[in-house]
Amino acid sequence: MKLLFLAPLSPKTGNHTTAERIRSHIELAGHTCELRDAGEFQSPADVADLLSGNPSFQAALAIHLFKAGRLLLDVQVPFGVIFGGTDINEDVKVEQKRVVMEQVLLRARFAVAFTDKLKEEAEIFLVPQSSKIFVQPQGIQTEVTETFCWTEFLRSSGVRSKNVDELRVFLLVCGLRRVKDPLYLVEDFSEWHCENMQNILVIIGPKIDPVFTAEVEAVVKSRGLLGPRDEPTGASCCHEKVLRRGQQLCLRGHVSSHLGGHGSQGTCGGQGYSRKCSCGAA
């Protein structure tokens, strides 16, 4: 079987990583999968024309009901869709998008949600199609790097603990961009860190949005919370120590990872630096 697979493919994002992983599994199962960026197409008619001009396509698949699934509304082949977090957390709030997403869900042969919570919310906000939505958690593949030294990794990030084995390190893999702003964790985690100095938060990921990264660096520095390997500048001890431990990774680090972008077990509404959520969710 040959499938057309549509997904938002911005570099270094969870969508891109997830799409490549799914494509790989489809091909390992003996099928042919052509992965295309949803941004290449302007309308459902463009995708319909592609499929009608290439009858070898027998089915289609899409990540994100609105961003990619809407492009399959005019196709004549069966298709399935995979929910993205933006579908339920953002797009359902916009009436025009929600109507389109309902149409996509009604036409799709099946839909996949990565968590039970995502399925439940989809059934609340969209058409209740319990028999059509399947929950399939994302798998995570890790590989051991023989040259990697955990102690040196932490030290290069600013951690100066004498006994690294006693630390409780929370590692958040997240590209720094406005829609995935991870810094709302800082205030609450700082308080937790002050209660127990062994609790360390490390944020690692690429600088996907250079403009937003520059804004974050400016805000952090203006508040006296961080200077690259600087001594404390009189700022809050809690914030200083937490940020110094994560500063290289949080604002300057890079990572290539097998992780997708849907692993969070908690949700926080709104944007900005005033958001609150349980540190335990990290």
DSSP one-letter string for 244-262: HHHHHHHHH-----S--S-
Q: Is 116 left (phi over 0), alpha (psi -120 to 50) or beta?
A: alpha
**Rg (alpha carbons) of the chain, rounded to whole number:** 21
The first and second tokens of residue 269, run together, are 């509404």
What is the number of H-type helices and E-type strands within the chain? Answer: 9, 8
In order along its 282 residues, the chain shows pLDDT tens digits of: 999 999 999 887 888 989 999 999 999 999 999 999 999 999 999 999 999 888 889 999 999 999 999 999 999 999 999 998 889 988 999 999 999 999 999 999 999 999 999 999 999 888 776 688 999 988 766 777 788 888 888 777 777 777 777 888 888 777 777 777 766 776 677 778 778 888 887 777 777 888 887 776 676 565 544 323 323 222 222 333 333 333 333 332 223 232 233 333 332 222 233 333 333 322
Q: What is the DSSP letter of 197?
A: T
Q: What is the CATH number of domain 2-135?
A: 3.40.50.2000
Structural domain spans, the chain: 2-135, 150-281
List the beta bridge partners of residue 34. 4
Give the position of tokens 């938060």.
201
Strands 199-204 and 110-113: unpaired
Q: What is the SS3 assignment for 54?
A: coil
